[in-house]
Structure 1
Amino acid sequence: MEGMIPLPTVDEKKKVVEDVEKDRRYNVDPSLLDIKLIKKRIEDLIMRDYLEREEKNPKMFKYLARLGL
């Protein structure tokens, strides 16, 4: 049958899935590192009294003005 494209073999499909997973890992890992660094920086700012968590919503932060420094 002319013009028909053969279906990939099981091994070819497995290789494609592995390649896609590897590519995703390379894209996700730096993003996770960025998030961890941001979280660390926020905690540092809280410890130094530049930020504080909202009492009613701990996912929100308040900036603490530091006057006279």
Structure 2
Amino acid sequence: MSNLKIIRIQDLADRLSVSRQTIWRLSKKDPNFPPKVRLTGQCVGFREDAVEAWLDSRTESSTEEVAA
């Protein structure tokens, strides 16, 4: 298995400069948002590689909109 890194929700919120509530909203409304990984009964995280891919896709789509 490769070097898998899990980002906790607060770290992800800090990285995106949004609130934890916004992360939950995005996870429910955006079908492309990275799936959560349950770590314990009440603790979830997100795979860093999935978050990076999601961010790249959002960056690409916003760049395409500006170019159009």
Query: What TM-score does the superposition give when structure 2 sets the normalisation length?
Result: 0.33
Which protein is richer in strand relative to its size? 2
Which of 1 and 2 has higher RCO (CA within 8 Å, sep 6+)?
A: 2
